[in-house]
């Protein structure tokens, strides 16, 4: 099992495998996700794979389809054949977002991760509101978020950027790096350990591939151009993949995210806005919404210049979004239950015992 251990396998996964008791199936980790297939790393090497139809039926719409980082059980796929994924072992953590568009579906970006690296490029103006959004989703994943400030060599005031980010990232490490000059890379690599899994996230053009190449010590990922006044980059990463670094740590490289909508969010928002939560405890009313109520300690802090108005506005926006998603989840769950009951009733009525003579 040495090959699997190199990809993060351990005693906890051994126990999960024994609980499933699927002796005919082979364990492996999903290391890449393409549009039409997955790649699974087993003890015998890498296999092309697709979820079984029964797994698709059980998991569809619930965020339970195999994702990069998942430990799965596969059947077949030796040689050039296509393996079938029969089971997904229970996840320790997962970074999820609402699927882009109007559908209320969960999209799992990476599973079984220990850390979430949020890459923020310093060659363009900082968006503290976008950082807060990423942090809220990252805290919800169950992994430890860290902010990686990239392209420090292009920043006008790197120290000032660190201070600004630290002002909205309470309890989150903020690391200043440059994939070009190597600044901060030794410390970043020193924070890693064999078997540790990190999800690297951020918009296009922030230097994610350059960062991984620097940690890997070679050009294992293609780096794209950055152009235009907004310094946006091309989507050189078109699929998700798990990269093993020389130090033994594993990094999930992901395509740039133009859109990041909350899937659940309530706990993540509380963790991200700990300062507002502390102030809210001093409000006159326990259910204060911080929107004009008398005795609101949060609005008083804004008026006194102790809390940025933009930060409170960001908190309100994310709270509204989380509440909206919760309502959509409930409506979707009710609809699914109604369909289940109707299907069950049709089956009962079709039974010979209950047919009208």
Q: What is the pLDDT of residue 101?
A: 53
DSSP helix, strand, coil percent of the chain (3-state; round to 5):
35, 20, 40
pLDDT of residue 305: 95
What pLDDT, on the 0 to 100 scale, is given for residue 222?
60
At the second CATH level, the architecture of 94-253 is: 3-Layer(aba) Sandwich (3.40)
Choose among 73, 74, 57: nearest CA to 65: 57
Task: Please state the rounded mean pLDDT for residues 92-117.
Answer: 79
Q: What is the pLDDT of residue 54?
A: 87
228 — pLDDT class (breaks 50, 70, 90): very low
Q: Hey, what CATH topology would domain 2-88 get? A: OB fold (Dihydrolipoamide Acetyltransferase, E2P) (2.40.50)
Using CA atoms, how far apart are residues 240 and 302, in angstroms rounded to an integer?
41
- Residues 106-114, mean pLDDT to the nearest whole number: 88
**Nearest-angstrom CA–CA distance, 67 and 213:** 23
Q: Which of 58-72, 83-97, 271-285 has the lowest mean pLDDT?
A: 58-72
pLDDT band, very low/low/confident/very high, at 229 (cuts 50, 70, 90): very low
Query: Given this model, what pLDDT does residue 65 score?
Result: 87
Lowest mean pLDDT among 52-56, 87-91, 287-291: 52-56
Please provide residue 313's backbone torsions phi and psi, each rounded to the nearest 5 degrees.
-60, -40
Do β-strands 115-121 and 197-201 pair in parallel, antiparallel, or remain unpaired? parallel
Fold adopted by 273-357: Ribonucleotide Reductase Protein R1; domain 1 (1.10.40)
Rounded to the nearest 10°, the torsion over CA 322, 325, 326, 327 is: 130
Q: Return the domain boundaries, the chain.
A: 2-88, 94-253, 273-357
Distance, CA of 272 to CA of 276 (rounded, Å):
9
In Å, how far are 16, 62, 69, 88, 256 from 20, measured between CA atoms? Answer: 7, 20, 19, 10, 36
pLDDT digits (tens, 9 = 90+) for 15-63: 888 887 666 889 999 999 998 899 999 998 899 999 998 888 877 666 6
Q: What is the mean pLDDT of the chain?
A: 84
CA distance 269 to 264: 10
């Amino acid at each position: 099992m040495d090959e699997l251990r190199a990809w993060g396998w351990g005693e906890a996964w051994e126990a999960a495998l024994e609980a499933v008791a699927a002796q005919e199936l082979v364990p492996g980790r999903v290391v890449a996700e393409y549009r039409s297939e997955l790649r699974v790393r087993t003890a015998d090497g890498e296999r092309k794979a697709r979820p079984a139809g029964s797994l698709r039926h059980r998991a569809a719409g619930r965020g339970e389809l195999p994702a990069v980082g998942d430990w799965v059980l596969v059947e077949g796929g030796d040689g050039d054949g296509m393996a079938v994924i029969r089971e997904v072992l229970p996840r320790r953590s997962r970074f999820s977002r609402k699927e882009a568009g109007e559908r209320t579906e969960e999209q799992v970006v990476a599973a079984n991760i220990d850390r979430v690296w949020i890459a923020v490029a310093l060659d363009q103006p900082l968006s503290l509101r976008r950082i807060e959004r990423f942090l809220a989703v990252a805290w919800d994943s169950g992994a430890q978020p860290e902010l990686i400030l990239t392209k420090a060599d292009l920043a006008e005031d790197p120290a000032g950027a660190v201070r600004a980010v630290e002002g909205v990232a309470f309890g989150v490490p903020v690391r200043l790096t440059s994939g070009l000059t190597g600044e901060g890379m030794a410390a970043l690599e020193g924070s890693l350990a064999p078997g540790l899994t990190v999800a690297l996230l951020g918009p296009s053009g922030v230097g994610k591939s350059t960062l991984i190449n620097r940690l890997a010590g070679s050009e294992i990922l293609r780096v794209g151009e950055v152009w235009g006044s907004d310094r946006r980059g091309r989507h050189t990463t078109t699929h998700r993949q798990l990269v093993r670094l020389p130090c033994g740590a594993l990094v999930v490289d992901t395509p740039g995210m133009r859109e990041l909508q909350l899937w659940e969010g309530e706990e993540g928002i509380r963790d991200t806005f700990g300062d507002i939560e502390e102030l809210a405890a001093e409000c006159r009313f326990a259910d204060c919404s911080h929107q004009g109520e008398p005795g609101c300690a949060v609005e008083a802090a804004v008026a006194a210049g102790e809390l940025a108005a933009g930060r409170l506005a960001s908190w309100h926006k994310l709270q509204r979004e989380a509440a909206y998603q919760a309502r959509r989840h409930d409506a979707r769950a009710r609809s699914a239950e109604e369909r289940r009951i109707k299907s069950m009733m049709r089956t009962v009525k079709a039974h010979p015992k209950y047919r009208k003579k």
